[in-house]
Amino acid sequence: MTLTAKQTTELKQQLRSERLRILSNITSLKAEFGESMADASDENGLETHLGDQGTMMFLRERDLAIEEHEERLLEEIDAALKRMADGEYGVCEVSHEPMTFERLQALPWARTHVDHASA
């Protein structure tokens, strides 16, 4: 079943909203990384405990992993918007069959049917 113009508009808006949310998250994460580890670990000129440094390192690595995930998701959203502009949106890249509106509502940047997603 081919998507209607109304469904395509709804999905495009969903993609754009998600894109803005992700850009905001990435901006926030990058702002947190603005200070160096030395600045973050310096408490009024006093040495920071080794355990505290380990915690800060863990939190930074976690935030970097989140940022990388968000950037990959942003790439998927941009690719979906490009497919939409090219008239190729909503077609499974494996079977070349149209995807359901419900599938795209759940995951608007999906490239395949649910059956092919794990492959």
**What pLDDT, in 10s, does the model give residues 52-64?**
778 888 888 888 8
| pLDDT mean over 41-67 | 74
**pLDDT at site 51:** 75
pLDDT number for residue 56: 82
Q: State the CATH number of the domain containing residue 51.
A: 1.20.120.910
- Please, which pLDDT band fits residue 84 given cuts at 50, 70 and 90? very high
pLDDT at 94: 94
* Predicted local distance difference test score (pLDDT) of residue 83: 97
Please choose, from the candidates 116, 25, 118, 35, the residue with its C-alpha nearest in 3D space to the C-alpha of residue 77.
Answer: 25
CA-based angle 36:37:43, to the nearest 5? 105
Provide the number of structural domains found in the chain. Answer: 1
Contact 42, 74 (CB under 8 A): no
**How confident is the model at residue 19, as a pLDDT?**
97
- Looking at residue 100, its amino acid is T
Q: What is the pLDDT of residue 38?
A: 47
| The pLDDT value given to residue 60 | 84
Q: What is the pLDDT of residue 36?
A: 47
Alpha carbon distance 26, 97 (integer Å): 34
Domain holding 10, by residue range, is 5-117
Its pTM stands at: 0.78
18 near 26, Cβ under 8 Å?
A: no
Number of H helices, E strands in the chain: 5, 0
